[in-house]
Amino acid sequence: MTNKRRIDADARAPRAPAASLARRLADWAVALRPADIPQRQRRLAGLRVIDTLGLVLAGCRTPAATAVYDLAAAAGGRPEAPLVGARARVPMAMAALAHGPAAHCRDFDDTLTDSVDHPGSVLVPVALALGEARHAAHE
């Protein structure tokens, strides 16, 4: 006996809003220019980038970071971004992946107390790899 009821999954699925919050945030970020950001916030952001880069350098020779660096170097692909502290260039995604654990492994990375997370070890490696691959200006 066959089931004569046809279930249309699409009919019951929630509809996405016309512009999701993530999409609106992405559009805002793409349109943002350095001149739109107050000087004080730009300076503080720059300090966070320098701090995270120092953490990557401090952590890049640890066993955990070395394992991810080796994985990134073995992955192959276009040499778009450097591995900080190594003599290799790897695909942008691999550089971002490798630098995150290097920044976090010594456990000195920044912490947002309200959410208890470490945004620098996640965001800065992605921004640096993307900027390097896209030949972005220092701003």
Domain map (residue ranges) of the chain: 39-133
The angle subtended at Cα 50 by Cα 45 and Cα 80, nearest 5°, is 100
Bridge partner residues of 89 (DSSP): 82
Give the pLDDT score at 114: 76
Per-residue pLDDT at 11 exceeds 80: no
Q: What is the pLDDT of residues 28-44, one digit of tens each?
A: 989 999 899 999 999 98
Q: Determine contact, residues 91/75, Cβ cutoff 8 Å.
A: yes
Over the Cα atoms of the chain, what is R_g?
20
Other beta carbons less than 10 A from residue 63's beta carbon? 7
Task: Tell me the whole-structure pTM to 2 decimals.
Answer: 0.75
- For residue range 53-64, list pLDDT tens digits in order: 999 999 999 999
pLDDT of residue 19: 78
Most confident residue range from 11-25, 82-96, 113-127 = 82-96
Contacts of 11 (CB under 8 A, 6+ apart): none
Nearest to 72 by CA among 101, 108, 50: 101
CB–CB of 65/59 below 8 Å?
Answer: yes
